[in-house]
Amino acid sequence: MKLYSYWRSTTSYRVRAALNLKGVPYDTIPVDLVAGDQRRDDYAALNPGKGVPTLVLNNGTVLTQSMAILDYIDATWPEPALLPKDALRRARVLAAAHTVALDIHPINNLRLIGQLRSRFGATAEQTTDWMCYWMAQGFAAVETMVDPQSTFAFDESPDLADLCIVAQVYNARRWGLDLEPFPNVLRIETNALAVPAIAAAHPDQQPDAKVTT
C-alpha cells in the first residue's frame, strides 16, 4: 500500500497512526503541499480534492478523505478497534473526533490560509491569530466531550478521537497556542505519544520532514 502524505499534515498524521496501530505496512509517498505538488495533474487525478492523504491499496484502488480512509482501515483491519461497537459510545467518540476534523482542521489548513492571504491580505500575525482562535474554540468543546478519568479520550486504548486530537495538538504547538486551558487535551497528547505506533506517525519521524526553526 502507498500513502501519499505530507509530514506536517494533521490528516496524514491521523492515518499514519491508524495504520501503525493496526500493524499495516505502507510506503510513504511525500506530497509537498508547500511546493504545490497536490495541484499537479498526476496527483489531482488520484485525489480530486487536491489534498492529502491518499491511500492506494495494493490492487490500485484509490481512497481519499482522511476520515473515510480511517473508516475503511478500521473496517478492514478491525484490531485494535478505533471506534466502539455500541452506537451511542461510537457517536460520542465520533463527535469529539469531528470537533477536530470538521470544526478546526478545514478552517486552518494551508489552502484556506492561502485564501485569507490572497483575498484579504492577511498578515502572518493575522493568520496565526486565526488558527489559534479556531483551535481554542474547538479544544474548549473537546474538553467537555471527553472522559476526564480515562487514559485516552474515552477509554484505556487510543481511538479515533485520540488520533485526531494528538495530530491537532502538533499543529497547536507549531503555532504557539496556549494549551494550559485544555488539561484533557494535554493528557491525551502525552498518553498518545507514549504509544510507539502513534509516536512513529509524528511529523518529525517522516521521510519528508525538514529541519525548521
Binding mask 34-73 for a copy of itself (x = CB under 8 A): --------------xxxx---------x-xxx-xxx-xx-
Q: Kindly state the cell numbers that stand for 154.
A: 474515552
Which of 87, 149, 156, 180 is the binder for a copy of itself (CB under 8 A)? 87
What is the smallest separation between the CB atom of 36 and a copy of itself, expressed in angstroms?
A: 15
Among 1, 107, 110, 193, binds a copy of itself (CB under 8 A): 107
C-alpha closest to that of 3 among 26, 32, 22: 26
| Cβ-Cβ contacts under 8 Å for 183 (sequence gap 6 or more) | 143, 148
Task: By CB under 8 A, tell whether 144 contacts a copy of itself.
Answer: yes
Strands 2-5 and 27-30 come out as parallel
DSSP 114: H
* Options 115, 190, 194, 204; binder of a copy of itself; rule CB under 8 A: 115
136 binds a copy of itself (CB under 8 A): no
C-alpha 14/C-alpha 162 separation (Å) is 9
DSSP H or E stretch at residue 64? strand 62-64
Q: Does 130 bind a copy of itself (CB under 8 A)?
A: yes
Tell me whether residue 122 or residue 179 sits nearer to a copy of itself (CB atom). 122
Strand partners, 56: 2, 62
2, 22, 90, 187: residue in contact with a copy of itself (rule CB under 8 A): 90
